[in-house]
Amino acid sequence: MGILDGRVIIVTGGAKGIGLAYCRGLAAEGATVVVADLSDGGEVVAELESTGAKAMSLQVDVSDVAQTEAMAAAAVDAYGRIDGLVNNAAFYMAATRAPMEDLPPDEWDLCFKVNVKGTWLCARAVAPTMRAQGSGRIVNIASMTVNDGTPGFLHYVSSKSAIWGLTRAMARELGGSGIAVNTITPDYIPHDEAYSSVQPEVDVAIQARRAFKRSQVPEDMVGTLIYLMSPLSDFVTGQNIWVNGGSGFH
């Protein structure tokens, strides 16, 4: 028995990284997990099924209207309902790190298309089902770079700051239908070599200013997500929970 028994939850960008940790954590609490990613999530599904969980994989570009609508339809076809959506997919590691004058303008558009429009499109796709159920949970993922004003990738920081506002407005729009919308804001999580090899000094500096002086790992995010997907947070909406080991407060 888990606290999410019977809940069907879509995790975008669930095939790797922090999204994979979300999939594992949700499944361990009894949720049926839909792994929605540009990449094939078949291996994740096999792993979750080997633990006795129910799961399916869908190849989806979250910035494509038709693909997000097909994602919601496939989840309903398979399981009859959608209880949760985790808007985790993002254009992040591939983002150019450069002074603002040097950012490629086309990349700015791509960043907003995936991170902001994609978040809206996925929520838009699941909203009719959640409204019909009179319940649902949408969790959007932001970044501590918004609070920190981290220089060097203005397009990414700006796109994640949009998530804070989008969550609030969406919470008011969907609250009348019993749908909660919240943000989780993670700090820097260097979960594979790509992160530590690009900027090892970034993690060292962030650890130094944290109350908890260690590196943040994907599993640090999972408890807050489970809480926001569970009955424990039934009266929580429009909120922004910072999970950062005390690197900043609000």
Ligand X SMILES: NC(=O)c1ccc[n+]([C@@H]2O[C@H](COP(=O)([O-])OP(=O)(O)OC[C@H]3O[C@@H](n4cnc5c(N)ncnc54)[C@H](O)[C@@H]3O)[C@@H](O)[C@H]2O)c1
- Active-site residue set: 156
Q: Where are the beta strands (DSSP E) in 121-198?
A: 136-141, 179-186
Q: What is the nearest approach in angstroms of ligand X to the Cβ of residue 215?
A: 10
Site for ligand X in 105-124 (CB under 6 A): 114, 118
62 binds ligand X (CB under 6 A): yes
Give yes or no for a contact between 104 and 29, defined as CB atoms under 8 angstroms apart: no
Q: What is the nearest approach in angstroms of ligand X to the Cβ of residue 189?
A: 4
Give yes or no for a contact between 19 and 60, defined as CB atoms under 8 angstroms apart: no
Kind and range of the H or E run holding 225: helix 222-229
Strand-pair partners of 240: 183
141 binds ligand X (CB under 6 A): yes
245 binds ligand X (CB under 6 A): no
Q: What is the nearest approach in angstroms of ligand X to the Cβ of residue 247?
A: 11
Residue with tokens 């606290």: 3
With DSSP H G I counted as helix, E B as strand and the rest as coil, what are the percentages for the chain, rounded to 5? 50, 15, 35
CB nearer to ligand X: give 66 or 132. Answer: 66
174 binds ligand X (CB under 6 A): no
CA distance 173 to 179: 9
Q: Kindly tell me which residue out of 55, 60, 71, 181 binds ligand X, with binding defined by CB under 6 A.
A: 60
Site for ligand X in 12-41 (CB under 6 A): 12-13, 15-19, 37-39
Q: Kindly tell me which residue out of 88, 215, 237, 244 binds ligand X, with binding defined by CB under 6 A.
A: 88
Strand-pair partners of 10: 34, 85
Q: What is the nearest approach in angstroms of ligand X to the Cβ of residue 177?
A: 25
CA distance 57 to 59: 7
Q: Which residues bind ligand X (CB under 6 A)?
A: 12-13, 15-19, 37-39, 60-63, 88-93, 114, 118, 141, 143, 186, 188-189, 191
